Amino acid sequence: MATAKHRILVAPDSFKGSLTSHQAAEIIAATLYKTFPDAEIVQCPLADGGEGTKAILKSHLPEHVCLIESAKLIGLNLPQMRALDVMERGSGAVGEAILTGLDAGRREFVIGLGGSATNDCGLGMLMALGMQAFNEQGTPVEPNLAGLFSLTRIEISGLDPRLSESRLTILSDVVSPLCGKNGATAVYGPQKGVTADDIGPVDRAMQKFSDLCGDAFDLRLADQEGAGAAGGLGLALMLLGGRMVSGADYVMEKCGFYDALTGTDWVVTGEGCSDAQTLQGKLPLKVAQAARETAAKVALISGSVDQGVLSELEHEFDLVISAKPDGMGVGQALQQAEKLLKQATERFIFSSSSSLRF
């Protein structure tokens, strides 16, 4: 039986498409309590700038801060976005949310970029905020990826002047530049619907837009880390003076994760799918790196695990557990997410018992 000296910190990200990070933390903690009723089990649900970030941060930031979660407005999981071809999708809703905040007197914004469905380089957002964009005929372009292809001139004098009085903190879970083989379109475009044949043309359109913006704003930011976040929305926000930070680091600090690590034996983290992107700095990796500094062990329980990077994940985590059984389809796993997460947590208990001797 566990004693109070044993402490487990439960700190998952959301399991996209099935469970919020709060729900995942509660399921894991409840399952742990059944076996270890005397253990100190602390829940610290997290996010990294993507889905669920607003729900996590709203109780940890002052009321005057305007929290905007791109995944709620232009997210890939939204039916209204999935119904549109990627060429028709734009980031205007993010600009409209900023305007709403400005109208309410807000001048400090925290904007999470993860999980977006757009690849318009932030054109829609900038146009919503007052920037004008024209084609060769002098006609305003559409505020979406299709518009990005046809624009030849921009005018930024109409941008809302209140933006110059504002502070924008941009939470990103990627460090991709805008263009190139590691850029927004090459890496993330396919999951949003950009075809293999269109990757090159889209990349060139984004570079052209970046050059136009560079002249207009007198800022050259295309090669900056995070410029490619959210299909180039990162670039657009940095052009407005936004400060790019690691979403995971920001949320972990605001939620008191680092303080909660003190005296912890095991940290249990997780996400919907662990793959090569996890190893590039997603939240679970950030959790593991922080835990390593305190000698706490870390278990990664994810909805599914890419077997191609399993050995690399096992180098970063003490235990790696996939909730989805081999052979089960993703759709079926999503429908049984709660049950499968409970079972995966039970496997963690079995695996960890010998090493922790609860």
Distance CA(46)–CA(303), nearest Å, equals 16
Count of beta carbons in the 10 Å neighbourhood of residue 201: 13
Q: What is the DSSP string of 59-100?
A: TTS-TTEEEEEHHHHHBTT-HHHHTS-GGG---HHHHHHHHH
| Domain extent listing, the chain | 7-46+255-356, 53-247
From the number of C-beta atoms within 10 Å of its C-beta (0-12, 13-18, 19+), residue 247 rates as buried
Distance CA(321)–CA(159), nearest Å, equals 49
Task: Give pLDDT, residue 5.
Answer: 63
Task: Give pLDDT, residue 281.
Answer: 82
**Domain 7-46+255-356 grouped into CATH 3.40.50.10350:** yes
Task: Look at the domain 53-247 and name its fold.
Answer: Glycerate kinase, domain 2 (3.90.1510)
Whole-Å CA distances, 167 to 87, 89, 108: 31, 27, 5
Task: Give pLDDT, residue 6.
Answer: 83
Q: What is the pTM of this model?
A: 0.92
Is 107:160 a contact under the CB 8 Å cutoff? no
User: What SS3 state is found at 338?
Assistant: helix
Task: Give pLDDT, residue 258.
Answer: 96
Distance CA(357)–CA(124), nearest Å, equals 56
pLDDT beneath 50, residues of the chain:
1-4, 354, 357-358
User: What is the β-pairing status of strands 167-172 and 153-155?
Assistant: unpaired
pLDDT per position as a tens digit, 288-331: 999 999 989 999 999 999 999 999 999 999 999 999 998 888 88
Task: Give pLDDT, residue 352.
Answer: 57
Q: What angle do CA 166, 169, 174 make, to 5 degrees?
A: 150
pLDDT per position as a tens digit, 335-357: 999 999 999 999 999 885 545 54
Comparing 7-46+255-356 with 53-247, is the CATH topology the same?
Answer: no
Task: Give pLDDT, residue 355.
Answer: 55
Distance CA(300)–CA(312), nearest Å, equals 13
User: What is the β-pairing status of strands 153-155 and 273-274?
Assistant: unpaired
